Amino acid sequence: MKNNAEKALGVTLWIVALLLMCSAAIYQRMTGPTHKLRGSFEESGQIYKYRLLRSEVTTTDARIALPAPESCGSGQLWYKRYATSAGFSPLPLHADQGELVGWLPAQPAAGKLEYFLTLECAGGRHRIPGEEGENVIIRFRGDVPLYVLLPHVIFMFFSVLFGIRCGLAALFEPQRIRPLAWITFAGMTLGGMILGPLVQKYAFGAFWTGVPFGYDLTDNKMLIMWLVWLAACATLGFKSQAGQRAGRPAVIAAALIMIVVYLIPHSMHGSQLDYDKLDEGVPASDAIGTG
């Protein structure tokens, strides 16, 4: 009976850890810059839904598209370089297979543009997004090879899964925490501290822009998680029972910090091109800060 109860507990904890990991993955996806801004507008009694880009690679102009109601005669795409004093410049929207399409000019890595759209329709003028002053921010990035990006993502969420499971084990199955903690730390080292900088290099031209070289929040979040799991594993050690007892609160703390970190929106305060420096003649690769 005891073995069956232990197995049931183990399965339950894995299910809880999986659900929490999936929730973290969905939250990071929904709050990240690669997630398109969704919305809708009403024209002539009909609702039209749209999705607006918030991320694009540096090698192509960004295609910004809206559904094209028959009662709308024309439209414009208004844009400016983000965090500059320049005014918005208009680009015309063109009909393309049932959509009205405009193209934002490609920017160097970490360059951001701020934009909104207007439609002139029989029912009046529509501003998209709807609220005055509410604009979309799009960031351009270098193209990250799938063979680098995919393992990075897999190992990071693999680490989250095992980290949460380890934290649950520290509460309910303390005898199992040591292997789970070391697996978490190994996955985080490979996915976050090795593959993460490679992704950053491909996307924005630098391996690391966190402390001590900068204040990129994504890099700093990764560093914090890695350090707390390093501390937990160092406390646990490899064999001693004393280390396992002492490591229990360290593991709980590391798991809680991991969860808190994943509640921070993805790429917040990330790499951003300084257009003022670019205008002064500084190479684009040297004009990247955080914002």
Question: Is residue 149 pLDDT above 80, yes or no?
Answer: yes
* Of 79-83, 104-108, 234-238, the least confident: 234-238
Question: Is residue 244 pLDDT above 80, yes or no?
Answer: no
Work out the average pLDDT over 221-238: 94
pLDDT tens figures, 165-222:
999 999 998 888 999 999 999 999 999 999 999 999 999 988 988 888 877 888 999 9
* DSSP E strands, 17-166: 37-43, 46-52, 55-57, 62-67, 72-81, 89-92, 94-96, 99-104, 112-121, 124-128, 136-141
- Angle CA(36)–CA(187)–CA(167) in degrees, nearest 5? 90
pLDDT tens figures, 253-290:
999 999 999 888 876 667 889 998 998 899 988 888 77
Question: Is residue 242 pLDDT above 70, yes or no?
Answer: no
Question: Is residue 61 pLDDT above 70, yes or no?
Answer: yes
What are the DSSP calls for 127-159, one per residue? EESSSTT--EEEEEEPPPPHHHHHHHHHHHHHH
Q: Which pLDDT does position 2 carry in this prediction?
A: 58
166-181 burial: b if 16+ Cβ within 10 Å, else e: bbbbbeebeebbbebb
Question: Is residue 141 pLDDT above 80, yes or no?
Answer: yes
Q: What is the pTM of this model?
A: 0.86
Residue 125 bridge partners (DSSP): 120
Q: Which pLDDT does position 70 carry in this prediction?
A: 86
